[in-house]
Amino acid sequence: MVGELASGVLKGDHRSLAKAISIIEGGGPDRRRLIQEIYPRTGKAFTIGITGPTGTGKSTLVDKTIEEYRKRGRRVGVLAIDPSSPFTGGALLGDRLRMMDHSLEREVYIRSMASRGDVGGLARAARNTIRVLDAAGMDVVIVETVGAGQTEVQVATAVDATVVVLMPQLGDEVQAFKAGFNEIGDIFVVNKADIVNPAKTMFNIASGVQEKKGWRPPVLKTVALKGTGVPAFVDTLEKFEKFLDEHGLREERMRQRLEAELVEAAFSDFYSETINRLKGEKSWRQLLGQVSRKELDPETAAGKLVKIIAGLDAGPNA
Ligand SMILES: Nc1nc2c(ncn2[C@@H]2O[C@H](COP(=O)(O)OP(=O)(O)OP(=O)(O)O)[C@@H](O)[C@H]2O)c(=O)[nH]1
Ligand SMILES: [Mg+2]
């Protein structure tokens, strides 16, 4: 069944895509089999993370970027991670409606994913969803996230290119920019250039960016609402894509991402399997009892627990 689904994904069938991504989101055992099937067919798509503070116009920019890439004959997959903040919780429906035009096209696929409490789980689901869209033949895969929290940064950097979208005179947000965004951005966009002259904000950003391996992150301005500056933005994305390829950096970055992903996924699986197995362990309950009766301190007990875990029988997935 998963095999059939995988071949549907590889053909770019939208129903199969929807089902496959739901399986990935669910995190059940089929997820592993699905990824097993499609992984050899991944690695062709250019992947882009679009992030930035709430309401800077990321979805609007993504929308126009899809249009521009379509004009250039490239197929586009989009994953929109919804902001979990109660202030922006209404964005889900808005995004869907706004992107509806494109959803109807055959060569564009748009999917939303709810951000849950589980940081590692979301990043993992996002990475695998990118793989599904890639295997489905999308030339470009865009992921939209909000904010500079751990999850967002993890997701926004699980891609080839990270774009940070800001707007003029963000005030406090400029602090947020300094606190995290400037390190992850390969390209900066100051959107809503129609409201306030963006020159000062652009200057501030430009003086804060760091050159990375010969690439000085450019600072662009757009009016996403009208599409102004979007062709130049896509030109810059294509230029960066070429830069990465010419310098072997796409491979290098991918290896680094895989290294982080494997360690994270393994520890996460190990953690949940261990917790399950410990529940049935007498030595674990005894240890807990000793600590609660103050016969043993938590630090010493933690050391003993490491030994108990190391001595557990290998589980079915080992
Ligand atoms: N004036 C102006 N308004 C814009 C521009 N781009 C987007 N907007 C408006 O700004 C609001 C927020 O736009 P979104 O695209 O939803 O912003 P977002 O960054 O995706 O928002 P979240 O996902 O909630 O963080 C909407 O009302 C847009 O119409 C622009 O270039 N100029
Ligand atoms: Mg949005």
* Structural domain contains residue 36: no
Residue 24 within a domain: no
- Do 193 and 133 fall into the same domain? yes
Taking the CA atoms of 129, 133, 135 and 140 in sequence, report the sign of the dihedral they define: negative
Domain-embedded: residue 26 = no
- Please tell me whether residues 239 and 272 are part of one structural domain: no
- Pocket flag, ligand 1, residue 221 (CB < 6 Å): no
Which tokens go with 141?
Answer: 């895969």
Q: Whose CA is nearest to atom 25 of ligand 1?
A: 54
At which of 246, 281, 302 does a domain end?
Answer: 246
For the Cβ of 201 lying below 6 angstroms from any atom of ligand 1, the answer is: no
Residue 186 lies in a domain: yes
Helix (H) or strand (E) holding 252: helix 249-279
Q: Are residues 152 and 283 in the same domain?
A: no
Q: Which ligand sits nearest to residue 230's alpha carbon?
A: 1
Q: How far apart are CA 29 and CA 247, in angstroms?
A: 38
d(Cα 307, Cα 208) in Å, to the nearest integer?
48
80, β-bridge pairs: 112, 144
Q: Say if 51 falls within a structural domain.
A: yes
Both 240 and 273 in one domain: the answer is no
Its domain, for residue 60, covers: 42-246
For residues 223 and 287, membership in a common domain is answered with: no
Residues with Cβ < 8 Å from 98, sequence gap 6 or more?
Answer: 59, 60, 63
Residue pLDDT tens, the chain, 318 long: 899 999 999 999 989 999 999 999 988 889 999 999 999 999 999 999 999 888 889 989 998 999 899 999 999 999 988 644 332 323 333 454 455 555 445 688 888 887 766 667 888 999 999 999 999 999 999 999 876 667 667 777 789 999 999 998 766 555 556 667 788 899 999 999 999 899 988 988 898 888 888 999 999 999 999 999 999 999 999 999 999 999 999 999 999 999 989 998 999 889 988 998 998 889 999 999 999 999 999 999 999 999 999 988 755 554
Domain boundary among 218, 246, 274: 246
**Residue 198 main-chain phi, psi, to 5 deg:** -85, 0
Q: Same domain for 191 and 223? A: yes
Strand spans (E) along 229-279: none
Locus of tokens 């909000």: 146
The CATH number covering residue 174 comes to: 3.40.50.300
Residue 182 lies in a domain: yes
Sheet holding 108-114, edge to edge: 108-114, 76-82, 140-144, 46-51, 161-166, 187-190, 219-221
Which residue's entry shows tokens 């865009």? 142
Q: Which atom of ligand 1 is least distant from the CA of 147?
A: 25
Which atom of ligand 1 is least distant from the CA of 60? 15
Domain assignment present for 147: yes
Residues 230 and 272 occupy one common structural domain: no
Chain-centroid distance of CA 288 in Å reads 38
CA distance 50 to 242: 19
83 close to ligand 1 (CB < 6 Angstrom): yes
Could you tell me if the CB of 115 is within 6 A of ligand 1?
Answer: no
- The pLDDT, as a whole number, for residue 97 is 46
Do residue 226 and residue 104 come from a single domain?
yes
Instruction: Name the 3-class secondary structure at 125.
Output: helix
In a domain, 29, yes or no: no
- For residue 37, CA distances in Å to 1, 9, 40, 43, 272 come to 12, 10, 7, 14, 24
Here the contacts of 32-38 (C-beta below 8 Å, separation 24 or greater) are 33/2, 34/2, 34/5, 34/6, 34/9, 34/132, 35/128, 35/131, 37/2, 37/3, 37/6, 38/6, 38/9, 38/10, 38/131, 38/132, 38/135
Q: Is the CB of 58 under 6 A from ligand 1?
A: yes
Closest CA to 52 of 152, 197, 186: 152
Q: Does one domain contain both 242 and 137?
A: yes
- Counting the structural domains of the chain, the total is 2
Residue 172 and residue 219 in one domain: yes
95-123 burial, b if ≥16 CB within 10 A, otherwise e?
beeebeebeeeebbbbbbbebeeebeebb
Q: Is 76 helix (H, G, I), strand (E, B) or coil?
A: strand
- Looking at the fold, whether 88 and 215 belong to one and the same domain comes out as yes
Q: Separation of 307 CA from ligand 1 center, angstroms?
A: 53
Is 126 within 8 Å of 143 (Cβ atoms)?
yes
Among the candidates 223, 246, 269, a domain finishes at 246
Ligand 1: atom nearest CA of 91 is: 24
| Residues pairing with 164 in the sheet | 51, 188
Same domain assignment for residues 268 and 301:
yes
